Amino acid sequence: MIINPRKIPLSIRKLEAMIRRLPPYHPKIPLISEELNKKMAGFKGESSLDFYLGFLDPKAYFIFHDLRLKDDSRYFQIDTLIVTKSYLLIIEVKNIAGTIHFDPLFNQLIRIKDGKETAFPDPLMQVKRQKLQLKKWHTNNGLREIPIYSLVVISNPQTVIRTTPENSLLSQKVIRCEALPSKIIQIENSVHTCIHSEKELKKAIRMIKKQHTELDSSILDKYNISKDELIKGVFCKSCLQFPLARQHGTWFCSVCLKKCNHAHKAALNDYRLLISKTITNSQLRDFLTIESAATATRLLHSMKIPGSGVNKGRVYQLSLFEE
């Protein structure tokens, strides 16, 4: 059963919003686009697991995607965590094209592509660290000690995997996507004891779900970009023209002549992703490029956005709208 479904990460949505809202000639667009391409490749690689995980019994395997927990003062992130009564399984997914060489001497992953060598952190060291952090989290939350296994899954079917002759046990830790179901069955057959009762299993699942916290840091700070550099206004979904005009209770595009009643929701998503989780009437008018405070109030009320405070001091709490 999938407890924490896979969804497009906030980091990707923020990068996409940044590209939408920066002028096309902005000097940091190439850097942001490169980061977005890397994130999208990673997300695509992680998503490729879903087909193979679908072979697992949903009553026995409980799956968390993109999990982020805290083990004292530090957060740690796991691509996929499988929880069972007998063990936990950490899965780290790598979508790296070319030929990859696992170097056990210097604990690095070397990618060779188009004649160029690039070094990456060793994912085996990464999952080793995740195991220690997950074990500490387990102990800190008063849960019974349980075996923790880990796998590195190479999602790109065209990737060539190599290592040194003495690193012969690599195949036990590094596998391809299609080998995942049989590898999980192999782990299952090696564990003969149920550590958690049904009640303890439900408690563990509940605590993991409750303490999961998605990373939500400021992307403007990361790239040292001011909010004043962002393009304001409501975009047309059909032709991407901006800003749309507010006419007779709807948004009107003067280029393709189409109307949209809810185009402001996408704009407020960009505001939430890039600028702030809160907004005032004045800030909404400035970002949507509308003049009327009454119109802004009607929009806020129509979206049922919760707020606190009164008059000009009222602040609204933004959540992301489904698009």
The string of pLDDT tens digits covering residues 43-55 is 999 999 999 999 8
Report in angstroms the alpha-carbon separations of 111 from 46, 102, 199: 19, 9, 45
The answer to whether 297 and 314 have CB atoms below 8 angstroms apart is no
- Amino acid residing at 200: E
Report percent pLDDT > 70 for the chain. 100
All residues at 6 or more sequence positions from 190 whose CB lies less than 8 Å from its CB, including other chains: none
Q: Among residues 310, 314, 298, which one has the least CA distance to residue 264?
A: 298
- 247, pLDDT greater than 70: yes
Calculate the alpha carbon distances from 291 to 26, 70, 206, 270 in Å.
28, 44, 47, 20
Q: Is 225 a residue whose pLDDT tops 80?
A: yes
More confident residue, 221 or 261: 221
pLDDT in tens, 12-31: 999 999 999 999 999 999 99
Confidence grade of residue 130 (pLDDT, cut at 50, 70, 90): very high
- State how far the Cα of 34 lies from the Cα of 31, in Å rounded to an integer: 5
pLDDT score recorded for residue 323: 67
- Give me the count of residues in the chain: 323
Question: For 181-200, what is each residue's pLDDT tens digit?
Answer: 999 999 998 887 888 889 99
Instruction: Name the DSSP class of 1.
Output: -
